[in-house]
Amino acid sequence: MSEAVASPTPLLEFRGINTHYGAVHILKDVDLAIYPGELVCLLGGNASGKSTTLKTLLGMVTPTTGEVVLDGEVVNDKPTSYRVERGVTMVPENRRLFKRLTVKENLELGAYLRNDDGVESDLERIYEMFPRVKERLNQKSGTLSGGEQQMVAVGRALMANPRVLLMDEPSMGLAPALVQTNFELIQQIHEEGVAIFMVEQNANMALSIADRGWVLQTGRVVLDDSAEALLANPELRASYLGDGNR
Amino acid sequence: MTTAMRSKARPRTGVDWFLTFLRVLLTGLVLFGLLAFLWQQIDPDNPLASAINPDANRLSWDAFQGLVISGLSQGAMYGLIALGYSMVYGVLGFINFAHGEVFMVGAMTGMITSNKLFEAGVWEDNFLLAILIAVLVSVICSTVTAVVTERIAYRPLRGSPRLIPLITSIGVSFFIQNTSAVLLGPGAKSYPRLPDWLRDDIGIGPFDIEGKKLLVLVVAGVSMGALWYLVERTKTGKAMRAVAEDKEIASLMGIDVDRTIVTTFAVGGAMAGVAGILWGILFGSVTEFTGFLPGIKAFSAAVVGGIGNLGGAMAGGLTLGSSESLAPQLVLEPLGVTGHTQLKDAVAFLVLIFVLLVKPTGLFGERLSAEDRA
């Protein structure tokens, strides 16, 4: 399963991260490392700090202590745009397209920081990947179906030419039939060499395609193991994987 | 649509009946006034006219045309100011009541510049050059005012409930008014006399348009065209629309949200600066309170057109300007209202009330989702 070669320097790393919203302690001494080309997932129940983890990775939340490291550089005080420029992109929860903008404009905004001439050919690549998107380029993105919106959201993130794609609950709000397709899509992107960091409630599905995973509980990493080991973990099976009384 | 949905959700209350009554009453009065006007045009001595408006007269084609043109030129000016209200509302979700004062700053600095140019002789020798310089100076001063206001007064309040920047904007408005009174002295100040060719009528096909009104329409049209291009066709405009819709995701795309907000204020300020000069050309004088009434009316225009919608702001401005200019003669006089020529301002706000009664989202507005509602 883990065909990704773990290179010595992580692409993105948390070193002893603590975050607070006011007096509330959200993340507690979290250490994470995402290596180039990996597919990893972060599991956890509600209010376990998953979203905060993503926001901290992107610089939308500043940690109180600890270091966020991108390519070996501490980026705690760098803005989101700095990280986006260096290949960190997110597909947000519920897709969050710009509904009043056209599909094409949404895709172009994904490449907002890029000035290279690869933008046009990347657009073509997205059209090839999602022929349905190409048919609807000049439509307002709010008029698309849920599945089509998911394609645009993924396409928009890919337009930034990411090295690591953060995905916040990618199967949330999708019709059950689409969830499987969505995971296949994630795998396809991963095979093209993009590292993927996925936050997911659907632990079974996520672990079946991931290399490694973490389990977050009330802001603390309680399990950190390979996907196979996590799938076999009886504790995790009981609480997340739908065994027992769930 | 709104009423239909609401009545399905709950039984009609007394308030609903009252609103329906108002809708019917206003529509009825407008229709009745228009019919009375038409009858009066056909026969000024018809029994209805002799009963309610004994002084009835036919409105000549020339007079009608004049009303339309002044309505449109003033409406174009309202539209330019309304753009600023609408854009700031779209991006930050509050009404920047100091925007009328940004317009006044444009009119004031335009007055100073044009008087200096008049003293230097440029105004009379080469009017187009002079007006170009005056527009530039006004635009720069209004833009700077808008941007500085954003930096000092609104940015520290980002994230607080939107009532707070709204109240602040009223304070800013008083501050700018009084600063102007202190720096330039209170009272009206005049623009230099316009060259003769702008005071004469210019014939375009069947229409005779007073030169200055034509100039106003042209300048307003060009500015709106430039704005449309900026917002719809450039990367900056795309970023502005993205920030207006979802700031968090916009920043995820790498857009600098703060800078985009500043751009929005700057562009709105520039439009208000242009409008300021146009005010000077149309009315020839300016006081420190000049920003108040046009500001409120432009705000109404933005609401009439559907706030947050740029095309709507322009359409709202033209609607308001034309109604204000036409309705006294076309509706109020045939209804026998006395002093109808003094009722321009009342007409403007009646149009606002009427639109809100019939289509609460404005002419081109979209329904606000629950989370967007203040």
Q: How far is B88 from chain A (nearest CA, A)?
A: 17
- Tens of pLDDT along A142-173? 999 888 999 999 999 999 999 999 999 888 87
| Residue type present at position A99 | K
- The three-state secondary structure class of B207 is strand
Q: Which residues of A touch B253 (CB under 8 A)?
A: 84, 109-110, 112-113, 156, 160
d(CA A34, CA A38): 7
Q: Helix axis angle, B235-245 relative to A103-110, nearest 10°?
A: 100
* pLDDT attached to residue A240: 66
Partner A contacted by B239 (CB < 8 A):
yes
* pLDDT attached to residue B287: 95
- Mean pLDDT for A89-106 is 92
Closest CA in chain A for residue B241? A101
* pLDDT attached to residue A242: 55
- Mean pLDDT for A45-57 is 88
Q: B255 vs A81: CB contact, 8 Å cut-off?
A: yes
d(CA A143, CA A101): 10
* pLDDT attached to residue B54: 77
Output DSSP code: residue A98. -
- The three-state secondary structure class of A203 is helix
Domain ranges of chain B: 64-291
- Tens of pLDDT along B247-283? 999 999 999 999 999 999 999 999 999 999 999 999 9
* pLDDT attached to residue B263: 96
> Quick one: how far is CA B52 from the chain centroid?
33
Closest CA to B348 of B308, B318, B313, B307: B318
Model confidence at A99: pLDDT above 50: yes
Q: Using pLDDT thresholds of 50, 70 and 90, give the confidence band for residue A124.
A: very high
Model confidence at A10: pLDDT above 50: yes
* pLDDT attached to residue B8: 59
| Strand-strand pairing, A12-18 and A30-34 | antiparallel
Element (H, E) at A32: strand A30-34
- Tens of pLDDT along B272-321? 999 999 999 999 999 999 999 999 999 999 999 998 888 999 999 999 99
Q: How far is B242 from chain A (nearest CA, A)?
A: 6
* pLDDT attached to residue A241: 60
Closest CA in chain B for residue A93? B249
CATH number for the domain whose boundaries are A38-62+80-239: 3.40.50.300
Q: Pick the residue of A94, A99, A112 with the most B CBs within 10 A to test the interface with B by mutation.
A: A112
Output the six-digit token pair for B125: 């020798």
Closest CA to A167 of A187, A137, A141, A147: A187
> Is the separation of the CB atoms in B303 and B362 below 8 Å?
yes
Model confidence at A243: pLDDT above 90: no
d(CA B349, CA B26): 13
Residues 6+ apart with CB under 8 A from B38: none
Residues 6+ apart with CB under 8 A from B250: A98, A109, B239, B242, B243, B257, B260
d(CA A96, CA A101): 12
> Is the separation of the CB atoms in B307 and B137 below 8 Å?
no
Q: Which residues of A touch B368 (CB under 8 A)?
A: none
- Which residue shows structure tokens 């209010």? A47
Q: Which residues of B touch A80 (CB under 8 A)?
A: 251-252, 254
* Exposure b/e, A66-86, CB count within 10 A at least 16 = b: bebbbeeeebeeebbbbbbeb
Q: Which residues of A touch B235 (CB under 8 A)?
A: 112
d(CA B157, CA A92): 27
Model confidence at A245: pLDDT above 50: no
* pLDDT attached to residue B1: 45
Largest Cα span, chain A: 54
Q: B245 vs A98: CB contact, 8 Å cut-off?
A: yes
Cβ atoms within 10 Å of A234's Cβ, excluding its own: 10
Q: Using pLDDT thresholds of 50, 70 and 90, give the confidence band for residue A244.
A: very low
* pLDDT attached to residue B62: 87
Low-confidence stretches of chain B (pLDDT beneath 50): 1-3, 7, 369-374
- Mean pLDDT for A78-100 is 91
Range scoring the smallest mean pLDDT among A64-68, A134-138, B10-14: B10-14
Nearest to B249 among A92, A100, A105 (CB): A92
Domain ranges of chain A: 38-62+80-239
Give B227: exposed, middle or buried? Use CB within 10 Å, 0-12, 13-18, 19+.
Answer: buried
Q: How far is A114 from chain B (nearest CA, A)?
A: 10
* pLDDT attached to residue A7: 54
